Structure 1
């Protein structure tokens, strides 16, 4: 009697084989994304070919097309990788057992430092708006950054560090400011100097709106 396919696939050896296939597929995809990040950061979108990405990842071009339907899809995966790296770093800072004000300052400094990272700078800031289009790029920035800014503002308000401003619109205004600051850093001939000035300017603005202990008690 022939064993039904569903029963065969439920056997431990079938599950193990499927798991190995999944692991192999994931490692192949990760190798392609790592390769794309390195090459796009070094040569830019126009200067990088799919053949080069596959070769650096040590896979065939057919394997690349198994995971991505074209060059822009590979770029968007690289974009996601560098943005996710920054997002996770800031999320970790926002979870630290420190006063909310200190967490906010640490997160700001981490973001400014990220704007000096060659991969983030070129892929997320230089190439992203061009390859993805301005509207799609801004939507992506909203996805990666808006929630972090919103959380940070709420923590500061709950701690009595800031007045009870409208969180949603304030978060969007801050996101616009930080996107502009990141662009200034990325396009400057002296990015380290501009990054230091951005940090100084934003910290100064935050100090201006920070409540004093007396004001916090009055609220």
Structure 2
């Protein structure tokens, strides 16, 4: 049996993180105070400090929530139905759409490298996304959909391209247009890796 105290504690933390995501998205890290976050979450400042050591810790929790939502969406596509090629294209499209989301743009792309530091942000991004890129590429190779390229190196190049794409989309005055252009370019790159003839060694 779960205790009421534990349920209340978890709901309080969740309310704080939700409030932080909303305010950091609207006003950015520098423009948001802990008092505002606590007020919006309808909890006391003391309750906030019970869960988080300070503003940066709360920002990192907001970052984790935003990243986790995107990761879960992509993971569901990349491990779902369809051929590896269809899943790869579906995952790419979902990633481009995630880059259009204001919360992901502001928190994960614009603010996180500054607040967390570039190295920690990059490590967090790799933990969330790089594994999906690598496993997706490996699935394409195993299925004979693309030429057998070096997985680690190629995955890192693709991951770097996607990271740059996210920044370009988030920084553009017309994110939808840039997102569509980037998706088209990356698909063209992947098509160049496709096998022109079936691999008779697979089957």
Q: Would you say same fold, with TM above 0.5? A: yes
Q: What's the CA shift string for 1:58-82, capped at 9, x where partnerless?
A: 1001000001001000000000000
Larger Rg: 1
Alignment partner, residue 21 of structure 1:
5
Shift of 1:56: 0.5
The whole-number CA distance in structure 2 between the counterparts of 1:192 and 1:76 is: 27
Structural mapping, 1:35-184, within 5 Å: 35-184=19-168
Instruction: Determine whether 1:217 maps to 2:194.
Output: no
Q: What's the CA shift string for 1:34-63, capped at 9, x where partnerless?
A: 000000000100010000000000100100
Q: TM-score, normalization: structure 2? A: 0.96
The number of equivalent residue pairs is 202
Structure 1 runs not aligned, ≥5 long: 1-15
The whole-number CA distance in structure 2 between the counterparts of 1:93 and 1:174 is: 18
Structure 2 runs not aligned, ≥5 long: none
- Give the CA RMSD over aligned residues: 1.3
SS state at 2:100 partner: coil
SS state at 1:217 partner: coil
Q: TM-score, normalization: structure 1? A: 0.89
The whole-number CA distance in structure 2 between the counterparts of 1:63 and 1:37 is: 18
Runs of 4+ in 1 over 4 A off after TM superposition: none
The whole-number CA distance in structure 1 between the counterparts of 2:150 and 2:5 is: 49
Q: What's the CA shift string for 1:68-119, capped at 9, x where partnerless?
A: 0010000000000000000000111112221110000000000000000000
